[in-house]
Structure 1
Amino acid sequence: MSSSPALARRLGTFDASLIGLGSMIGAGVFAAFTPAAAAAGSGLLIGLLVAAFVAFCNATSSAQLAAAYPTSGGTYVYGRERLGQWPGFLAGWGFVIGKTASAAAMAMTFAAYAAPQGWERPVAIVAVVILTAVNYHGVTRTAGLTRILVMAVLAALAIAVAAVWGGSGPHLGNIAGEGLLAHGLYGILQSGGLLFFAFAGYARIATMGEEVRDPRRTIPRAIGIALGITIVVYAVVSVTVLAALGPDGVAASATPLAAAVDNGTLRWAAPVVRVGAAVASLGALLALIAGLGRTSLAMAREHDLPNWLAAVHARYKVPHRSETVIAVAICVIISVADLRGAIGFSSFGVLLYYLVANVAAFTQPREDRRYPKALQVAGALACVLLVATLPPLSAALGVLMFLVGILYRFVRLKLSAVRD
């Protein structure tokens, strides 16, 4: 491992859990049900259970590994330590590329709710710049702002759900639609893969393993708390939008929770939902920038990214160069891309990232084991299955992304061998 300066351990269980919540209860809860309903109809409820189960398996693997390797980098580090340099690199590459695109999607989602028409891209770029500056000034400030954002989003969701059920909109008969199995097993699994996108934020806790106090205790607890709360919130919201709109209505709306409120008699709550969506997007973007900077730091320490990205700021104790480069990449994507396919593309990279995590956890010795191996086997198989059922274009772009990463590392290793 590199001897570059260590990050400061400043986070406890509460703040670490909030960073995970800020990553998971983000724009996904306001938007992810639309493609899931298009794929599976009311079967998205089963898809949600599939996604939650896969997330649980992956979370236990991440928690077990993070307790044994409490340093920045997440599965990039775990893969290197347990499986070798190439699996670690592929995990890190998938996380950085996939989550950079996901961060751009979060910024664009924020702008879609908050910006005047025609100003979406500039506003999204400004949001990235401001939140990067927050991260730049220290992880405790990141945790502090995340605390405010998470509480605001949970309050907005509570108001929205109460408005839907307190009005005249919901009908329990809408939930089943044509039947939970009407779109078949493939549709259900595809909805699970798409909804998994919204669960993947607990990785942010593991990637910040060098900044939590008592990591062997704090990281597993924080991951469990964040994931448990998120599962409950997503279950309540999914039932609410299905009851208000039915499966076809959810699939047809880009903002299903806002549409569910508009469909009832308490329409005064609709602006609250839109503000909540904007705030949720900011919270997810904030945590994404933090996690991406730390995984890039870990990869730079091992020379899988340029070594100058491994710098830690002398005063603020954050990977300032990595975060700055990531912010620039996010802004470039915002300038040239749109939201189409972003969820599927991100899910492809993140599911393969967790495939490496499950395999790495499976190889841990008994003294480091906290969960049965069966969970790691189930998690690995489920990651492969969900990747195989993602939309074809997203899968093709994902394969291309990994081929670029493999070529990059192969060339770097060849150049290093020539210099030596």
Structure 2
Amino acid sequence: MTGSDQPLARRLGTGDAVVIGLGAMIGAGIFVALGPAARAAGAGLLIGLAVAAVVAFCNATSSARLAALYPASGGTYLYGRKRLGDFWGYLAGWAFVVGKTASCAAMALTVGAYVWPGYAHAIAAVTVLALTAVNCTGVQKSARLTRVIVTIVLVVLAAVVVTLFGAEGSALSHIDVTDARVGGVLQSAGLLFFAFAGYARIATLGEEVRDPARVIPRAIPLALGIALTVYAAVAVAVLAVLGPDRLADAVAPLSEAAQAAGAHWLVPVVRVGAAVAALGALLALLLGVSRTTLAMARDRHLPHVLAAVHPRSQVPQRAELLIGLVVAVLAATADLRSAIGFSSFGVLIYYAIANVSALTLRSDEGRPAPPIPVLGVLGCVVLAFALPSASVVSGAAVIAVGAAVYGLRRACRAPGANSR
């Protein structure tokens, strides 16, 4: 038996929520986005990191206030519908689902690339199916697994930072941001934003968090602050060893930095850490996408059959299974780098809608200081259109398709549409 309107169990505390957010962020950025960001801005990626962090903070603040007021699954899909109207909520949900489905594929491919490069696509698809099975058993088990993964990754990254800063070839003089171009910095910020977007998992799990009005506003900024500290330390350490030019050309930046520093023992450790980090990110991403799918299915923006919640595990198993199958197919066929830009575009549009939604809050509803959501909206729009042109074109096309589908469905439902 399943129930389409059965609520999800509130089993997650602050620690669990922070860990799920970290699991989504750490794997996405450290091992994937540093190289493309360096190609865009050189050492100026550090400025881009700061810009991305500011935009992410604004988004996190707006999301936290909205999630505390509306503690149910769906994230900005729900907030947009409540504050701006059905269309904007739908558009946010569409942008999130398509953008984060690409993110899931990217993380799965990262696992495959580090575990067995010659069979990266096959490993990626199998990984997605295995984690989908884990998610279907219950969110608490997913949170416990994510906690183990985050611990391992943080230990590996700490070892990388300490080793690189202590290496003979390490020199902070390699880091010169004076030649950074504004366009390159903004593009690097857009790419690095991909690394910060994991805190959305906390908001989309709002229906499963205990005391959401207290837990969510604490968990989101805490997870973001930890991730920023880790990102900054690793980025500076890698730049100090490789310099911006070598980092821009590096396929596996942390592994190449370890080799350049003469720490050959660290290379296999980094490979394992990268695979584990991507695994943790994928686990949390699958959770978030399935919960937004659940919320959209409840409102019949997606097939209502996906709104079923299993009575024993109390998770949306049909949504979990569908998303898992779609991601597995993408992971078996997609390109890793193109997925990053496409995902960033979709997620930035999603957060732009979140910030506009936060602007409509009253003071008694926990409205943030107005400059925060205003800066968030502007930052999201600027970074989205500063991304590589291919990402902007493909992302905008998919968003337009979603809007067109919504319009067609509304037209078909209009009075008299079926009477002709």
TM superposition score normalised by structure 2: 0.97
Tell me, in whole angstroms, the C-alpha distance in 1 between the residues paired with 2:413 and 2:291: 24
Give the stretch that moved more between structures: 126-135 or 166-175. Answer: 166-175
The alpha-carbon distance between structure 1 residues 82 and 370, as it changes in their structure 2 partners (threshold 3 A), is closer
Match of residue 169 from structure 1: 169
After superposition, residues 122-201 of structure 1 pair within 5 angstroms as 122-176=122-176, 180-201=177-198
Tell me how far 1:373 sits from its aligned partner.
1.0
1:237-293 deviations in Å (ceiling 9; x for gaps): 110010000000110101111111110122211111110000000000000000001
Tell me, in whole angstroms, the C-alpha distance in 2 between the residues paired with 1:409 and 1:238: 42
1:324-354 deviations in Å (ceiling 9; x for gaps): 1111110121222211321111110000000
Tell me, in whole angstroms, the C-alpha distance in 1 between the residues paired with 2:317 and 2:288: 12
Match of residue 414 from structure 1: 411
Match of residue 396 from structure 2: 399
1:48-76 deviations in Å (ceiling 9; x for gaps): 00000000000000000000000000000
Match of residue 229 from structure 1: 226
1:369-405 deviations in Å (ceiling 9; x for gaps): 2520110101101111111211100000001111111
Residue type matched to 1:139 in 2?
Answer: V
Tell me, in whole angstroms, the C-alpha distance in 1 between the residues paired with 2:409 and 2:333: 28
Tell me how far 1:168 sits from its aligned partner.
2.0
Give RMSD over aligned pairs. Answer: 1.3
Contact 2:34/2:235, CA 8 A, preserved across alignment: yes
Q: Indicate whether 1:377 and 2:374 are aligned.
A: yes
Q: Indicate whether 1:359 and 2:356 are aligned.
A: yes
Match of residue 307 from structure 1: 304
TM superposition score normalised by structure 1: 0.97
Equivalent position to 1:343, from 340, 343, 352: 340
Residue aligned with 2:72, SS: coil
Residue type matched to 1:89 in 2?
Answer: Y
Tell me how far 1:167 sits from its aligned partner.
2.5
Match of residue 114 from structure 1: 115
Task: State, as a whole percentage, how many aligned pairs show the same letter.
Answer: 56
Tell me how far 1:414 sits from its aligned partner.
2.6
Residue type matched to 2:369 in 1?
Answer: P
Q: Indicate whether 1:100 and 2:101 are aligned.
A: yes
Residue aligned with 1:26, SS: helix
| Structure 2 residue ranges without an equivalent (≥5) | none
Tell me, in whole angstroms, the C-alpha distance in 2 between the residues paired with 1:336 and 1:130: 18
Tell me how far 1:411 sits from its aligned partner.
2.2
Residue type matched to 2:307 in 1?
Answer: A
Give the stretch that moved more between structures: 42-51 or 108-117. Answer: 108-117
Match of residue 288 from structure 1: 285
| Structure 1 residue ranges without an equivalent (≥5) | none
List structure 1 runs of 4+ shifted beyond 4 angstroms. none
Tell me, in whole angstroms, the C-alpha distance in 2 between the residues paired with 1:52 and 1:284: 18
Contact 1:169/1:260, CA 8 A, preserved across alignment: no
Tell me, in whole angstroms, the C-alpha distance in 2 between the residues paired with 1:231 and 1:183: 21
Contact 1:23/1:202, CA 8 A, preserved across alignment: yes
Residue type matched to 2:139 in 1?
Answer: V
Tell me, in whole angstroms, the C-alpha distance in 2 between the residues paired with 1:116 and 1:234: 25
Tell me, in whole angstroms, the C-alpha distance in 2 between the residues paired with 1:262 and 1:344: 28
Residue aligned with 1:267, SS: coil
Tell me, in whole angstroms, the C-alpha distance in 1 between the residues paired with 2:89 and 2:367: 22
Give the stretch that moved more between structures: 332-341 or 297-306. Answer: 332-341
Tell me how far 1:163 sits from its aligned partner.
1.8
Contact 1:79/1:91, CA 8 A, preserved across alignment: yes
Residue type matched to 2:357 in 1?
Answer: A
Tell me how far 1:116 sits from its aligned partner.
4.9
Tell me how far 1:159 sits from its aligned partner.
1.1
Tell me, in whole angstroms, the C-alpha distance in 1 between the residues paired with 2:117 and 2:62: 43
Residue aligned with 2:273, SS: helix
Residue aligned with 1:197, SS: helix
Residue aligned with 1:356, SS: helix
Residue aligned with 2:213, SS: helix
Match of residue 332 from structure 1: 329
Residue type matched to 2:5 in 1?
Answer: S
Contact 1:174/1:243, CA 8 A, preserved across alignment: yes
Residue aligned with 2:337, SS: coil
Tell me, in whole angstroms, the C-alpha distance in 2 between the residues paired with 1:35 and 1:266: 24
